[in-house]
Amino acid sequence: MKTSDFDYDLPESFIAQKPVEPRDSSRLLVLHRDTGQIEHSVFNQVGRYLKKGDLLVLNETKVIPARIHARKDSGGRVELLLLRREDGLTWQCIVGGKGLRVGTKLSLEFTDPTLNIPKTHNSGDEFLSAVIVDELNGSERRVRFAQPIEPFFPRIGNVPLPPYIHEKLENPERYQTVYAREPGSAAAPTAGLHFTPRLIDDLKGQGIRFAYVTLHVGLDTFAPVTENDPVEHEIHTEWCDLSQETATIINETHTSGCRVIAVGTTTVRTLESAGKDGKRSILPFSGPTSLFILPGYRFNVVDALITNYHLPKSTLIMLVSAFANRELILETYEIAKREGYRFYSFGDAMLIV
């Protein structure tokens, strides 16, 4: 197995720059992994492929406005991209700027000029300041803020769209799922962007059950694997949580002979982290996961998957290749291209059954 085995050609014209309206009008490709059969549909018809008693598991993480601008004492500009919070004041960040060593002091900049607080707080006062306390890998730093910054997110932060999206997003809520509840992600769990409240109600009326997990998505989700052998790739850890209530519903679903359907690769990672002991029954799980799913992995919890189309040579296309077969996935991607499907975060969906 080589990283190049998961490569494919994708012209930029296939990369969706804007979400469709309404959310559930995106296209849906249904892949039957046992036969290779492919069906073309629309996402609001996903219920046609589900059965009463099936369980949809969704990731209710919420994207935070994690891109923040600041200045050093010298006046030099700095960009902080918040990755994960370690405690009430300390975050792991990706930083952009020069001379960002341990001890460097930063003053955060406001994006809202109408903010009604003293100017001193906007230009160096410790009220909204930070300091770099540790140098991590590459451009990653550990940054400690003078006070919790979450209350100031609306004033200092911007939603960090993926690097392949070049058009401005007029409504930042379109990069949130309609069920997002737990702030903490640097990126959206994009398979869930296709759901609307009405579609969820319709599916519940059809007898489809719902359960929720949380995995805070890090930017490693966009990073290609650079090692020739993907086994050598060091995947970033991400924090996830699966409650007792969700574990109970999953176990009940399997006992009744119905399917557990993961909405998105982040949900797959959470579910399989809770069930990686080889048993179909799972227990609650909370904490960091470094689970890296490659072809050959035996899935213990997930029976079907709703997902978008993923970047070449990424850990995510490796995960879906483990679930459905690498050759079949790459063939399906070529069919999706011929049929004009839209790729990546704001693109169309695939249901793998």
Q: 8-52 pLDDT, tens per residue?
A: 999 999 999 999 999 999 999 999 999 999 999 999 999 999 999
In this structure, CATH architecture of domain 67-158: Beta Barrel (2.40)
Residues 238, 290: Cα–Cα separation, whole Å: 7
pLDDT band at 111 (very low <50, low <70, confident <90, very high): low
Q: According to the 3-state scheme, what is the secondary structure of the chain?
A: CCHHHHCCCCCHHHECCCCCCCHHHCEEEEECCCCCCEEEEEHHHHHHHCCCCCEEEEECEEECCCEEEEEECCCCEEEEEEEEECCCCEEEEEEECCCCCCCCEEEECCCCCCCCCCHHHHCCCHHHEEEEEEECCCCEEEEEECCCCHHHHHHHEECCCCCCCCCCCCCHHHHCCCCCCEEEECCCCHHHHHCCHHHHHHHHHCCCEEEEEEECCCHHHHCECCCCCHHHCCCCCEEEEECHHHHHHHHHHHHCCCCEEEECHHHHHHHHHHCCCCCCCCCCEEEEECCCCCCCCCCCCCCEEEECCCCCCEHHHHHHHHHHCHHHHHHHHHHHHHCCCCECCCCCEEEEC
Question: At residue 126, does pLDDT exceed 60?
Answer: no
Which of 80-89, 150-159, 261-270: highest mean pLDDT?
A: 261-270
Residues 123, 127: Cα–Cα separation, whole Å: 10
Residues 119, 183: Cα–Cα separation, whole Å: 29
- DSSP-assigned beta bridge partners for residue 58: 212
Hey, where are the domains in the chain?
A: 3-63+169-352, 67-158
What is the average per-residue pLDDT within 95-118? 77
Amino acid sitting at position 30: V
Q: 133-181 pLDDT, tens per residue?
A: 999 988 889 999 998 988 888 888 888 888 889 888 888 899 999 999 9
Residues 115, 106: Cα–Cα separation, whole Å: 19
What is the average per-residue pLDDT within 79-92? 89
In this structure, CATH architecture of domain 3-63+169-352: 3-Layer(aba) Sandwich (3.40)
User: If we measure between CA atoms, which residue out of 34, 40, 111, 101 comes closest to residue 70?
Assistant: 111
What is the average per-residue pLDDT within 250-277? 94
25 and 199 in contact (C-beta within 8 Å)?
no
Beta-sheet pairing, 27-31 with 349-352: parallel
| pLDDT attached to residue 320 | 97
What is the average per-residue pLDDT within 287-301? 93
| pLDDT attached to residue 236 | 79
pTM reported for the whole predicted model: 0.88
